[in-house]
Structure 1
């Protein structure tokens, strides 16, 4: 009978180790999340995506649904960050889908991002930070957007709507 408590203790220790390994392995990072959501097949630290995209993907400073916004490396984010554009709200606001921003492994969808750059070129953004239920106070430098094939830009969408309005008015 003394062996049953010892066996239970060993099982509890093994289960405990298994849970810890599983929990730490399940923390989702921004890179695999952005890759899966956008279809952009780039690997490595987020801050390296911009240079890796050169020659393989179009890049620019205008948001597009499905594009990946690439954040530069900073003291607060030494590996950078990547987030997928889920929706364009207006010229200075988009909704991001991303992981590992507000807390480790957390997936956030429809998180507001605001262009706070002086030039309006998305080179600095503020992002919704869930723990404070508001926009973060820090301006985060970015490289710009890597465009996923098959997605429209804000300007393309605006032009298409303008063309549609003209066609309807002409009928």
Structure 2
């Protein structure tokens, strides 16, 4: 215990994050990005390495940093990063890459600096279980495998969600895509046959404002002419 106390004092003197000790049944992870923060491997560089998601900074900043750069959601997918909210002594949050989806409630994770292994922090764990324990099965809370007890820890860790390596869909591009696909369609053939207008004279010439009778030619409507003259 004195060793941990001395290490904590040293870290505080260096202006680093405080060290939180693990309980007997679960873990409190300290997750930063800079190698100088703590003398062991952090979760952030490992999650970045295995997922390919290029976000830097403490784990608790990843969710907001991903907005507009990477797709985000509430369902696990292989290659996605599970983003943990700060909770209890885990003040800097945590990030872990999903390596496999077992079922709607269970995934396997690849992450660093979670369990004490051999009495040391900063260890890498690959393909360890995390289970969704939310009431709605929306992956808002999980329990995570904790090596010292060789079982799932008892803490229900709150999540922000999942950050996917895909780029976010630009909603402004959707209409363009639809229009482009519409333009690519072949023009519809008319159901009217080519001989539909055959024999019909089309009057496409402008008509005169008033018809004039030719001299010496009898009007076809003499009664109409008389009415027009007296009206």
User: What TM-score does the superposition give when structure 2 sets the normalisation length?
Assistant: 0.53
State the 1:74 CA deviation. 1.3
* Cα distance change on mapping 1:123 and 1:25 into 2, 3 Å: closer
Greater helix share, 1 or 2? Answer: 1
State the 1:75 CA deviation. 1.8
Match of 2:100 in 1: 87
Task: Specify every segment of 5 or more residues in structure 1 that has no aligned partner in the other structure, as ranges.
Answer: 1-23, 151-171
* Cα distance change on mapping 1:131 and 1:72 into 2, 3 Å: same
The correspondence of residues 98-117 of structure 1 with structure 2, limited to 5 A, is 98-103=111-116, 104-117=121-134
The correspondence of residues 26-105 of structure 1 with structure 2, limited to 5 A, is 27-103=40-116, 104-105=121-122
Task: Measure, in 2, the Cα distance between the counterparts of 1:84 and 1:29.
Answer: 13
State the 1:25 CA deviation. 7.0
Number of equivalent positions: 127
SS at match of 1:55: coil
User: What TM-score does the superposition give when structure 1 sets the normalisation length?
Assistant: 0.72
Higher relative contact order structure (alpha carbons within 8 Å, sequence separation ≥ 6): 1
Task: Specify every segment of 5 or more residues in structure 2 that has no aligned partner in the other structure, as ranges.
Answer: 1-36, 168-231
List, as ranges, runs of 4+ consecutive aligned residues in structure 1 with deviation greater than 2 Å: none
Is the aligned partner of 1:120 residue 2:137?
Answer: yes
SS at match of 1:102: coil
* Cα distance change on mapping 1:37 and 1:26 into 2, 3 Å: farther
1:96-149 deviation digits (Å, cap 9, x = unpaired): 000000021110001100000111111100000000000000000000000013
Larger radius of gyration: 2
1:7-31 deviation digits (Å, cap 9, x = unpaired): xxxxxxxxxxxxxxxxx97611000
Of 119-128 and 24-33, the range deviating more from structure 2: 24-33
Aligned alpha-carbon RMSD (Å)? 1.5
